Structure 1
């Protein structure tokens, strides 16, 4: 067993135009002061990171790592959540997702997808240059508008959608494989990969590709009412990234899982700051230790109520308290009788 690394923090929700959130050096100093030991960098935010330069220049990658090291920080993973979303976009969402793309390809779905695929491939090379072995992303979605089986779906619609999703991702996965990096798909509503069943459908279609893996975030499973602890028992071998994010689900007589089109504050299922929701993190961290999770525990802060800076300040000590320093010996070693094969045979009556 190994001790999970952390606490880390995903910078996407904190980056901004005002100091200390507008440069990597400044935001690194801020999170280090809160007690974090690692950062997950959103690769699309050029205030913090230049993805193209990182894929081309080892010197630039060394500068990034050096900037973090000056603050006592490590780089946990790069993220391409926004670019991954654009690998597969149903036309119903073209306008809503267009803003995720570079201005030059907006309004052109084919060019936008080509740009997104190129971004993922740059991220694979950049991750290798940065010494990373895992990467965080979304899958995108072609079947999401048909999630609920009404009207009745035409036979083969979902299967065809997953065939196409796999066709688009397979070359990207191969580039990640060439660079020795795992993709952790965040299983998330709005993505075709949003639970264990859909992940298995995709995994089967990419031939159980070794680089097709999971970013585990229990908050999304609370909102779906999926057993997030049993999920770890089933899929731990494929979990390569971990977002530590809390959530609660409090159904009432007017609304449930679907939320009634309400905003986040009023939905029965909503994200909360760490410790304010219903996720059993003690049990999660125990299973992570049991299954020898090799990566980082990374805070992704999202809360409909609490200020982000308060959530960030509370997050580092919360994660630190939950990290289990794994034992190097059995608790009952004091009573060990030693190794004696002859004794073993006598004990068995042989």
Structure 2
């Protein structure tokens, strides 16, 4: 067994234009001040990292690691959630997802997709140069507008969508394989990979690619009313990253999983700060410890009620208190009477 690394924090929800959130140096110091040992960087945020430069320069990557080390934290992983989303965009979402793209490719879906693919390939090399073994992203979605089968889906529609999704991602997965880095898809509504079945459909189409893995986040599973604990047993070999994020699902006679287009505070399913929701983190951390999870426990803070800095402060303590320092010996070793093959056969009545 292995003791989980952490606590760590994903900085995407905290980076901003005001100090201490506007530079890598100051935000790293802020994170360390709350008790975090690691930070996960959003690769699209140029206030924190220049992705292209990181892909091309090991000297620059050494500077990033040095800045973090000077502030008492280390890099856990990079994220390309926004760029990954743009690898596959159904036309109905062109306008709303254009905001994720570089200015020069907005309004041009083909150029935007090519830019996104290049961003992922840069992230593979940057991850290697930074010495991290895992990377988080989204899959994007071509079939999501058809998630509910009404009107009846034409035969072959979903197969065609997943065939195309796999075709677009296979060269990216190969680039991550060349870099020696696992590509971990966050299983998330709005993505074509939003539950176990859809992940399996994709995994089969990319030939069970060894770099095709999972970023486990129970909050997105509980809001779908999916067995988020059983999920870990089924996909244990593919879970390489974990976002520690809480959520709650409180259905009523008036709304359920779809939540009636309500704001986050009015939805049946809501993201909450750690400890304020319904996720059974004691069992999750026990599973991670028992199954040799080799990664970080990374807070992704999202809450419709609590102030983010309160959530960050409380989240560090929550994760620290849930990490299980694994034992190096069995609790009943004191009663070990010793044995050998001959004694075992005698005990069993075989001699």
TM interval, shorter chain, is over 0.9
| 1:260 paired to 2:291 | no
User: 2:205 maps to which residue?
Assistant: 205
Per-residue CA deviations over 1:17-51 (Å, capped at 9, x if unaligned) read: 00000000000000100000000000000011100
Rounded Cα–Cα distance in structure 2 between residues aligned with 1:72 and 1:183? 27
Rounded Cα–Cα distance in structure 2 between residues aligned with 1:164 and 1:332? 55
Q: Secondary structure at the match of 1:12?
A: coil
User: 1:71 maps to which residue?
Assistant: 71
User: 2:125 maps to which residue?
Assistant: 125
Q: Secondary structure at the match of 1:265?
A: helix
1:118-267 equivalence runs, <5 A: 118-267=118-267
Moved more, 338-347 or 259-268: 338-347
Per-residue CA deviations over 1:245-269 (Å, capped at 9, x if unaligned) read: 0000000111000010001000000
User: 2:329 maps to which residue?
Assistant: 329
- In the alignment, structure 1 segments of 5+ residues that lack a partner are none
Q: CA deviation at 1:290?
A: 1.1
Q: Secondary structure at the match of 1:190?
A: coil
| 1:11 paired to 2:30 | no
Q: Secondary structure at the match of 2:39?
A: strand
User: 2:87 maps to which residue?
Assistant: 87
User: 1:341 maps to which residue?
Assistant: 341
- In the alignment, structure 2 segments of 5+ residues that lack a partner are none
Q: Secondary structure at the match of 1:237?
A: coil
Q: Secondary structure at the match of 1:183?
A: strand
User: 1:295 maps to which residue?
Assistant: 295
User: 2:105 maps to which residue?
Assistant: 105
User: 2:114 maps to which residue?
Assistant: 114
Rounded Cα–Cα distance in structure 2 between residues aligned with 1:290 and 1:228? 17
Q: CA deviation at 1:349?
A: 1.1
Per-residue CA deviations over 1:79-106 (Å, capped at 9, x if unaligned) read: 0000000000000000000010000000
Rounded Cα–Cα distance in structure 1 between residues aligned with 2:11 and 2:197? 30
Rounded Cα–Cα distance in structure 2 between residues aligned with 1:39 and 1:300? 11
Moved more, 96-105 or 339-348: 339-348
Rounded Cα–Cα distance in structure 1 between residues aligned with 2:24 and 2:111? 30
Q: CA deviation at 1:241?
A: 0.6
Rounded Cα–Cα distance in structure 2 between residues aligned with 1:222 and 1:134? 24
Q: Secondary structure at the match of 1:76?
A: strand
Rounded Cα–Cα distance in structure 2 between residues aligned with 1:194 and 1:290? 26
Q: CA deviation at 1:339?
A: 3.1
1:45-64 equivalence runs, <5 A: 45-64=45-64
Rounded Cα–Cα distance in structure 1 between residues aligned with 2:291 and 2:149? 36
| 1:270 paired to 2:270 | yes
Per-residue CA deviations over 1:168-190 (Å, capped at 9, x if unaligned) read: 00000000000100011000000
Per-residue CA deviations over 1:100-158 (Å, capped at 9, x if unaligned) read: 00000000000000000000000000000000100000000000000001100000100
Relative to the length of structure 2, the TM-score reads 0.99
User: 1:37 maps to which residue?
Assistant: 37
